[in-house]
Amino acid sequence: MNEMTAANGRQGGTIYVDADACPVKQEIYKVAQRHGWTVQVVANGIIALPVHPLVKRVVVGAGFDAADDWIAERAGPGDVVITADIPLAARCVKAGAAVLAHNGKGFSDRSIGMALASRNLMAELREAGQVTGGPRPFSQRDRSDFLSALHETLEKLKRARP
């Protein structure tokens, strides 16, 4: 579950970041600090972080899905998870966490099944040689959409607290 932290007179929860390939870490730090949320930056190796008491580094082992497992074991209601990993998103949604992709797209109980099915279909098509390209490049619009979605998610969770 989340840990409560006071910053700038506000109470926040925990944002878990699947950080190894996250293009919006700086945006997460900025929004989290404004709202008083702790950020757990989870990666397989050391990632440079800003010096701030609300930003914490978690280095997990190099094992397959080690970062995913660490996040999924801790995230729950009132927490936010930032990831592009659909299976991790599914685990965290099931645990009750709010989950956002790097482009601001939210995952929910209603949408996660379709996201998993699409992911599996694309993996099969790639294995069969039917699809050879990857996702489109990350854009400034994606970054802006993410910032808006993260802010809205934190505000929604703040209003839901007793």
- The domains located in the chain, with CATH, are 5-160 (3.40.50)
Q: What is the pTM of this model?
A: 0.81
The pLDDT of residue 2 is: 37
Instruction: Express each pLDDT in 113-138 by its tens digit.
Output: 666 666 566 566 667 777 666 667 88
The backbone torsions φ and ψ at residue 81, rounded to the nearest 5 degrees and listed phi first, read -120, 130
Instruction: Please state the rounded mean pLDDT for residues 19-36.
Output: 93
The pLDDT of residue 49 is: 94
Instruction: Please state the rounded mean pLDDT for residues 40-68.
Output: 92
Residues for the chain: how many in total? 162
Average pLDDT, rounded, for the chain: 85
The pLDDT of residue 57 is: 96
The backbone torsions φ and ψ at residue 134, rounded to the nearest 5 degrees and listed phi first, read -100, -165
Please report which confidence band the pLDDT of residue 1 belongs to, taking 50, 70 and 90 as the band edges: very low
Task: Tokens for 143, please give them.
Answer: 């970054």
Nearest one of 85, 93, 94 to 66, comparing CA atoms: 85
The pLDDT of residue 33 is: 93
3-state class (DSSP) for residue 22? coil
Q: Given CA atoms 75, 79, 81, 87 in this order, what sign does their dihedral have?
A: positive
Report how far apart, in Å, the C-alpha atoms of 135 and of each of 29, 56, 65 are.
25, 30, 21
**For residue 91, is pLDDT > 90?**
yes
Share of the chain above pLDDT 70, in %: 79
Cα separation, 22 vs 3, whole angstroms: 23
Q: What ranges in the chain are assigned the alpha helix state H?
A: 25-35, 66-74, 86-94, 112-127, 140-160
